[in-house]
Structure 1
Amino acid sequence: MVKHTKKAVLLTLLTVNMIVVSACSTANTSNQSSAAPTNDAKATAGATGEKVTLTYGGWKLDTITEVIKAFQASHPNIEVKAENTPYKQYFTKLETSAQGGTMPDVLLMNGPNFIKYADNGMLKDITGNIKADQLDLNNFPASLVSLYSLNGKNYGIPKDYDTIGLWYNKKLFDEKGVAYPDASWDWNKLVEAAKKLTDTSKGIYGFAAPMMNQEDYYNTILQAGGNVISDDHKKSGYDQPEAIEGLKFLTDLIQVHKVSPTLAQMTETAPADMFTSGKLAMYFDGSWAAFTINQNQDMKNNADVAVLPKGKKQGVVIHGLGNVISANTKHPKEAWEFVKFLASKEAAEIAAKQGGAIPAYKGSETAWLSAFPQYHAKAFIDMTAYASPYPVSKNTSVWNTYETDILKNAWTGEKSVADAAKELGAKMNQALAAEK
């Protein structure tokens, strides 16, 4: 009776709470008890020498076709069928497949959706597999390992990651005689430089402070010594003084220092577009921006990147995808073999050469860096030493909506940052309490 109740709750959660995030991924719930294999020793077609076909769900899987080929070459009895879905449709499709019993054997997962799927028994606990095969999780950033762990159990292996850096226009810096950003920069140096670089008569701003969570205020909250959510995912940090300070640093750049475009301006034209058009001297953006900037002929050699400036401390949010296994896969042994291969240095280096994201396997980032030799892109990797996991809970999408709805009043100046942050904290705490 308890099992059936849990299944009904799971279906409701999946239907109501699917997430689509920036940064930055199917099981039969009605037959979960009878369909889920009891252990990895269960006989499968692969174990008898017959060919097994695994489905691998995700987006941008065209960046790892060579990885799949390498795996199949070393595992001739296992065929991997990639089910590539555009990111914007991926989680909607996953919701449908979760209810219909067609979840891929292996799939990409992101942080905001992870807890919901793991906590409701949709993902396979691979802690035993990791221990049995002595897979060293120290090969991956600890913050990413933590992102795909729940209640002391491992459900995913990090695939790749992204951090946020301070991108800057060298040409604009040179014209004003301003020294380039480096690891010594703090908030005060950023503000000082932004004032010198701002020239509104030419439509040029020193810095852009948009209302973006992963790229902007999640980082400044960390730099102020605060957090967005507690480590146990049960309490909001928005109503605390440190979070308020981190938010206010950004809004002051617009309202007090006048070195950033307004929210309305940045809504009309994204900071990334302002930057590549030469109208913006600095902004925060992810490691993924390296590819886009490198494709812009006017900007590719005029741009560079540095680590984020520190506030009271250094801080940056890290997010990355993980490879997980469906709890209901009919081929747990083969699925684990594939995930284990995806977690290898060999797979990481192959993927990096093909043009994917920064590989999560430590020491295999060289191929990614070599694609952008003119940038100090190693800054993105250096920051993993003090990075904090992307803030998530079981139903992240609920309070993500509150962030957007409430914080815009602080960005426009209609409410004080403190009032907006306290309102957001209260609403978020209500949402977190309802997750129990």
Structure 2
Amino acid sequence: MNESNFATYANGGVIADLSDKLKGSSLTMSDYIDIQTKAYTWKGDVYGIPKDIDAIGLWYNKTLFQQAGVAAPTADWTWDDMVAAAQKLTDPAKGVYGIAAQPAAQQSYYSTIPQTGGTVISADKKKSGYDTPEAIKGVQVWVDLINKYHVSPTLQQMTDTDPDSMFTSGKVAMIYEGSWAAAEFADVPYAKANADVAPMPKLDKPGGVSNGLANVMAAKTAHPDQAFKFLEFLGSKKAETAQAAAGIVIPAYKGAAGGWVDSFPNYHLQVFVDALKNSSQYPSSLNSAIWQDAATAEFNKAWTGDETVAAAAKKVAAQMDKALAAEK
């Protein structure tokens, strides 16, 4: 189960409330990263055993940095440092851009809005935060990379060619991408040899957002005891540690990430584990897809320059507030 759809399935009675079974089980919810335990709790009851979690980092091309004479990103980098580096790395003659300003929410404004002091959705999940000055700033920085600094491919270019492909082929020097990309990039020889990752540059304060999956069971299963027994195994330290060693995802079990960090020694993956300290929960509500899809479509108009970020944010917030008000 993923976070965007969780509340829909829990509220609809499709997945089982695990609270009673947890009372006599070997699982302790405090063993999992807190924001994931919270993400899969509905009206005070647990419906999912956290499986994994992700984080966003600044992936960069070591060779392009060296060729441009730009020092590699550090943990002290600010957003302005990143923009300055992107300007030096952008080479129109070679078709190389400093950074890809992806329109994907988690790899762009979901990661920067917390750093500008804004929120996507209120804590009680009843109101949008998009139309606040802080949130608008968190979106504006991405639009500026395309339309002000010209250090990113355009939305059309990123629609025609996937930004990850641009990065793994050496046409983009930096990209905000998730912990899950380690396995993806390691499968591409050029990226395996030339890529590395650093912490996200800071805006006003540290911050970010994390998503993750949970293991759940059907509410109407004919075998609830057996199903929960399997969930106990999947949620155990043993299973989570094995999952980490496979190198695909960061386990949600506290202290089990070491195997994942070691799975790709050519990348500094500890960056992602450290990022979890300042990560907030992935924005979601009872019917997340309704307002998430609308936000993407509207903000795309800002990405192309056809609409200001402030105007787009105002429309997104109005659409979102209407959708949230309709949730029961």
- Shorter-chain TM range is over 0.9
Instruction: Please give the residue correspondences for 1:153-302 in structure 2 after superposition, counting only pairs within 5 Å.
Output: 153-302=45-194
Task: State the alpha-carbon separation in 1 of the partners of residues 230 and 211 from structure 2.
Answer: 22
1:152-207: CA deviation from partner (whole Å, max 9, x where unpaired): 21111111121111000001111122121121112111111111111111111111
- 1:334 maps to 2:205: no
> Which residue identity lines up with residue 258 of structure 2 in the other structure?
T
Task: State the alpha-carbon separation in 2 of the partners of residues 131 and 221 from structure 1.
Answer: 38
Indicate the residue corresponding to 2:255 in structure 1: 363
Give identity over the alignment, percent. 49
Q: Which runs of 5+ in 2 are unaligned?
A: none
Task: Give, in angstroms, the shift of residue 131 of structure 1.
Answer: 3.1
1:391-420: CA deviation from partner (whole Å, max 9, x where unpaired): 111111111221122111111111110001
Q: Which runs of 5+ in 1 are unaligned?
A: 1-108
Instruction: Please give the residue correspondences for 1:25-174 in structure 2 after superposition, counting only pairs within 5 Å.
Output: 109-133=1-25, 135-174=27-66
Task: State the alpha-carbon separation in 2 of the partners of residues 356 and 303 from structure 1.
Answer: 17
Task: State the alpha-carbon separation in 2 of the partners of residues 143 and 180 from structure 1.
Answer: 31
Indicate the residue corresponding to 2:203 in structure 1: 311
**Quick check: 2:36–2:50 contact (8 Å CA) kept in 1?**
yes
- 1:411 maps to 2:290: no
Task: State the alpha-carbon separation in 2 of the partners of residues 225 and 425 from structure 1.
Answer: 17
Task: State the alpha-carbon separation in 2 of the partners of residues 402 and 127 from structure 1.
Answer: 34
Task: Give, in angstroms, the shift of residue 112 of structure 1.
Answer: 0.8
Indicate the residue corresponding to 1:47 in structure 2: none
Task: State the alpha-carbon separation in 1 of the partners of residues 86 and 286 from structure 2.
Answer: 39
Task: State the alpha-carbon separation in 1 of the partners of residues 254 and 193 from structure 2.
Answer: 28
Q: Which is bigger in relative contact order (C-alpha 8 A, separation at least 6)?
A: 2
**Which one has the largest radius of gyration?**
1
Task: State the alpha-carbon separation in 1 of the partners of residues 30 and 199 from structure 2.
Answer: 23
Helix, strand or coil at the partner of 1:165: strand
RMSD over equivalenced CA pairs, Å = 1.4
Task: Give, in angstroms, the shift of residue 220 of structure 1.
Answer: 1.1
**Quick check: 2:183–2:248 contact (8 Å CA) kept in 1?**
no
Runs (4+) off by over 4 Å: none
> Which residue identity lines up with residue 200 of structure 1 in the other structure?
P
Indicate the residue corresponding to 1:16 in structure 2: none
Task: State the alpha-carbon separation in 2 of the partners of residues 213 and 331 from structure 1.
Answer: 38
> Which residue identity lines up with residue 82 of structure 2 in the other structure?
L
Task: Give, in angstroms, the shift of residue 138 of structure 1.
Answer: 2.5
The normalised TM-score by structure 1 is: 0.73
Instruction: Please give the residue correspondences for 1:349-428 in structure 2 after superposition, counting only pairs within 5 Å.
Output: 349-428=241-320
**Quick check: 2:50–2:214 contact (8 Å CA) kept in 1?**
yes
Helix, strand or coil at the partner of 2:21: helix
Task: Give, in angstroms, the shift of residue 232 of structure 1.
Answer: 1.6
Task: State the alpha-carbon separation in 2 of the partners of residues 356 and 287 from structure 1.
Answer: 9
> Which residue identity lines up with residue 11 of structure 2 in the other structure?
D
